[in-house]
């Protein structure tokens, strides 16, 4: 079997919802400013003590249930996260132990908001190699812990959550192609400068962003990698049933959609209620649209992301 196919999806959001009005009580901002600039109305925030692995486990179990697979079936776990519980073991290894998976490989990928798209592409290639048959691919983040909650330019944008898919070997596609890109020279426009390799947490532990530079790069590359994926497979925009873009903000999503010439009704958006959940945003949106019945078996779906690194990419598949 040379293809991989999504067999099930799942997601999880922490219980606590923080609305724009609540943020208004702690920083100088307004619901009007946040909604008009980003489309974000609320975000879920993890409870104290709740870890990325906790979120990942909920999403993974939901995806496994919807795919009808158990721990014995899984032989690959790839977790996309920027907010691992620990420096090591990886979140994927922690998750493997939680789920009782005893076989196969488990590792994290780090491409920030493009993380899930990278992870899906990696898992697809592992399965296409013939050496793995059933992968759990997870995007899980607690971005709220990377934010300076006094910095109104960044803290209003993000939320916490997790999403997952089970990817199985298949005789038919499935995943048609993936297209990954990076430009490390632009790393400074979106970063958490702090690191642990100094033997302690050194430098600024909080997310810093040049908002307009990120906006310009995001709208350019999301358009490029959407057209690249369609052209690679001989499809036009009219062939696409659904676009599931990274949920950073509505202005980026609308600009990409309009540039592509795609009807906005064909785009899955969850950013209003979730904020930007980084690597979790695409699988959360995918699971939402699968569970509410919009995405149907056999439909052509394009997922795409852009994030820190800078990184970007897309995966085109038949659901
Ligand atoms: N509430 C009220 N005012 C604010 C807020 C806020 N939350 N944040 C910034 N402002 C103020 C600024 O201080 C500034 O005031 P000043 O002129 O007195 O200095 C004013 O609003 C305008 O600020 P700008 O940064 O110019 O606002 P802009 O219209 O560019 O919108 C935004 C900022 C929303 C961040 C926009 O640049 C953007 O969408 N960038 C993309 C960033 C993004 O989505 N990042 C997510 C992570 S990256 C990713 O996932 C791809």
Question: Which domain covers residue 219, as residue numbers?
Answer: 176-318
- Residue 113 among the catalytic residues: yes
Same-domain pairing of 84 and 7: yes
* End residue of a domain, out of 147, 172, 197: 172
> What does the pLDDT look like over 139-160, one tens digit per residue?
999 999 999 999 999 999 999 9
* End residue of a domain, out of 131, 146, 172: 172
Same-domain pairing of 17 and 158: yes
Q: What are the DSSP calls for the chain, one per residue?
A: --EEEEEEEEEE--SEEEEHHHHHTTSS--HHHHHHHH---EEEEPPTT--HHHHHHHHHHHHHHHHT--GGG--EEEEE-SS-SSSSS-HHHHHHHHHT--SSEEEEE--GGGHHHHHHHHHHHHHHTTS-SEEEEEEEEEGGGGS-TT-HHHHTSB-EEEEEEEEEEESS-SEEEEEEEE-GGGGGGEEE--BSTTSS-BS--SEEE-HHHHHHHHHHHHHHHHHHHHHHTT--GGG-SEEEE--S-HHHHHHHHHHHT--GGGB---HHHH-B-GGGHHHHHHHHHHHTT-S-TT-EEEEEEEETTTEEEEEEEE-
Question: Looking at ligand 1, which atom is closest to the CA of residue 152?
Answer: 7
CATH number for position 203: 3.40.47.10
> What does the pLDDT look like over 49-65, one tens digit per residue?
999 999 999 999 999 99
> What does the pLDDT look like over 228-264, one tens digit per residue?
999 999 999 999 999 999 999 999 999 999 999 999 9
Please give the mean pLDDT across all residues of the chain. 96
Residue 81 above 90 pLDDT?
yes
Same-domain pairing of 62 and 187: no
Same-domain pairing of 156 and 194: no
Same-domain pairing of 15 and 157: yes
Same-domain pairing of 56 and 152: yes
Q: Report the complex ipTM.
A: 0.93
Same-domain pairing of 236 and 290: yes
Same-domain pairing of 221 and 304: yes
pTM: 0.96
- Residue 232 among the catalytic residues: no
Same-domain pairing of 232 and 140: no
Same-domain pairing of 254 and 293: yes
Task: Give the count of domains, the chain.
Answer: 2
Same-domain pairing of 165 and 186: no
Same-domain pairing of 166 and 184: no
Ligand 1 neighbours by CB, cut-off 6 Å: 29, 33-34, 37-38, 113, 152-153, 156-157, 190, 209, 211-212, 214-215, 218, 246, 248-249, 251-252, 276, 306-307
- Residue 233 among the catalytic residues: no
* Catalytic residue selected from 113, 134, 155, 225: 113
Least confident of 38-47, 84-93, 159-168, 193-202: 193-202
* End residue of a domain, out of 149, 172, 195: 172
């Amino acid at each position: 079997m040379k293809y991989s196919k999504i067999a099930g999806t799942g997601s999880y959001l922490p219980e606590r919802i923080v609305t724009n009005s609540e943020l208004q009580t702690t920083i100088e901002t307004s619901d009007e400013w946040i909604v008009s600039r980003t489309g974000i109305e609320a975000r879920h925030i993890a409870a104290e003590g709740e870890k990325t692995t906790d979120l990942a486990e909920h999403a993974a179990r939901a995806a496994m249930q919807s795919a009808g697979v158990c721990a014995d079936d899984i032989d690959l776990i790839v977790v996309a996260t920027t907010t691992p519980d620990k420096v090591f073991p990886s979140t994927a290894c922690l998750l493997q132990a939680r789920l009782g998976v005893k076989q196969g490989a488990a590792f994290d990928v780090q491409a920030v908001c493009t993380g899930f798209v990278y992870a899906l592409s990696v898992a697809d290639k592992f399965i296409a190699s013939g050496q793995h048959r059933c992968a759990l691919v997870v995007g899980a983040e607690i971005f709220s812990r990377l934010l300076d909650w006094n910095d109104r330019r960044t803290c209003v944008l993000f939320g916490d959550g997790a999403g997952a898919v089970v990817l199985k070997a298949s005789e038919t596609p499935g995943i048609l192609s993936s297209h990954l890109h990076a430009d490390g020279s632009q790393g400074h426009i979106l970063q958490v400068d702090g690191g642990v390799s100094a033997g302690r947490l050194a430098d600024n532990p909080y997310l810093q962003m040049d908002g307009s530079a990120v906006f310009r790069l995001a709208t350019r590359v999301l358009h490029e990698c959407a057209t690249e994926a369609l052209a690679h497979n001989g499809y036009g925009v009219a062939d696409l049933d659904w676009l599931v873009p990274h949920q950073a903000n509505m202005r980026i999503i609308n600009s990409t959609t309009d540039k592509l010439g795609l009807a906005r009704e064909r785009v899955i958006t969850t950013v209003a209620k979730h904020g930007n959940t980084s690597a979790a945003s695409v699988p959360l949106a995918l699971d939402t649209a699968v569970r509410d019945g919009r995405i149907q078996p056999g439909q052509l779906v394009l997922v795409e992301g852009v994030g820190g690194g800078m990184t970007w990419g897309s995966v085109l598949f038949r659901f």
